[in-house]
């Protein structure tokens, strides 16, 4: 488990916290395996950031559950929620362990690589630079799926994660975007993501 930062309580429902934990942990598994397969430090570092977020959410969920329990009956009904949250947290920790292997440069056994080399889709992570041609545009405007077969599946904005962003979500300077797609589409995505308005017009 990652070290918890000082957390300020926010009035978020137990359901919303659990859904966010689930979405993050699912994405973490994909990122961790991709990081191991392609020996990608950026993807591994993103997994570690997500692990911190899941730990924070688990802490907030515990607090919300305690505040929601008015009597023994309420407490009993929340036990199942605590069990699911704990299991989700363990999945997050396991993904973090895979990412740590990459970050510590321990190396991945060839058998592990062979097991995942047939994956048809790849994941990538890139930061939207200042002046990027993609900055301040919605995902609908970018038309990544029809143009190159790539979907943005998550955006990290400062320390907040937007999982499965809507089509009207704006991409802002400084956002870290995580995308999934076929290898050729991913290559094009990475190339265009680095373009600024100046270089695009040159």
What is the per-residue DSSP string for the chain?
A: -PPPPP-------HHHHHHHHHHHHHHHHHHHHHHHHHT-HHHHHHHHHHHHHHHHHHHHHHHHHHHH--SHHHHHHTHHHHHHHHHHHHHHHHHHHHHHHHHTT----HHHHHHHTT-S-EEEEEE--TTBTTTTEEHHHHTHHHHHSEEEEEEEETTEEEES--TTPEE-TT-EEEEEE-HHHHHHHHHHHT-BHHHHH-
Instruction: State mean pLDDT over 31-41.
Output: 87
All structural domains of the chain, each given as residue ranges with its CATH number in brackets, are: 14-113 (1.20.58.220), 120-201 (3.30.70.1450)
For residues 162 and 126, is the Cβ–Cβ distance under 8 A? no
pLDDT at res. 5: 55
From CA 33, how far away is CA 47, in angstroms rounded? 10
pLDDT at res. 202: 42
pLDDT tens digit string along 145-165? 888 899 999 999 988 899 999
Distance of CA 176 to the CA centre of its chain: 10
pLDDT tens digit string along 111-145? 766 666 666 678 889 888 888 888 899 999 998 98
pLDDT at res. 118: 61
CA-to-CA separations, 14 to 92, 154, 188, in angstroms, rounded: 18, 22, 40
- The structure tokens listed for 12 are 């978020």
Distance of CA 16 to the CA centre of its chain: 17
The alpha carbons of the chain give a radius of gyration, in whole angstroms, of: 19
Q: What's the pTM?
A: 0.74
Closest CA to 176 of 120, 121, 132, 144: 132
């Amino acid at each position: 488990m990652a070290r918890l930062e000082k957390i300020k309580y926010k009035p978020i429902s137990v359901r919303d916290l659990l859904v966010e934990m689930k979405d993050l942990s699912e994405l973490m598994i994909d990122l961790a395996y991709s990081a191991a397969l392609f020996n990608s430090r950026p993807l591994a570092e993103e997994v570690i950031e997500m692990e911190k977020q899941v730990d924070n959410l688990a802490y907030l969920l515990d607090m919300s559950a305690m505040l929601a329990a008015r009597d023994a009956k309420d407490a009993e009904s929340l036990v199942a929620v605590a069990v699911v949250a704990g299991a989700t947290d363990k999945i997050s920790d396991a993904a973090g362990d895979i990412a740590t292997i990459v970050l510590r440069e321990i190396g991945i056994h060839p058998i592990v690589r062979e097991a995942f080399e047939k994956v048809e889709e790849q994941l990538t992570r890139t930061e939207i630079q200042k002046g990027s041609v993609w900055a301040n545009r919605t995902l609908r405007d970018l038309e990544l799926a029809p143009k190159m077969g790539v979907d943005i599946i998550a955006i990290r904005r400062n320390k907040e994660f937007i999982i499965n962003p809507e089509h009207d979500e704006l991409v802002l300077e400084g956002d870290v975007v995580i995308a999934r797609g076929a290898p050729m589409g991913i290559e094009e995505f990475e190339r265009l993501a680095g373009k600024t308005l100046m270089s695009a017009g040159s």
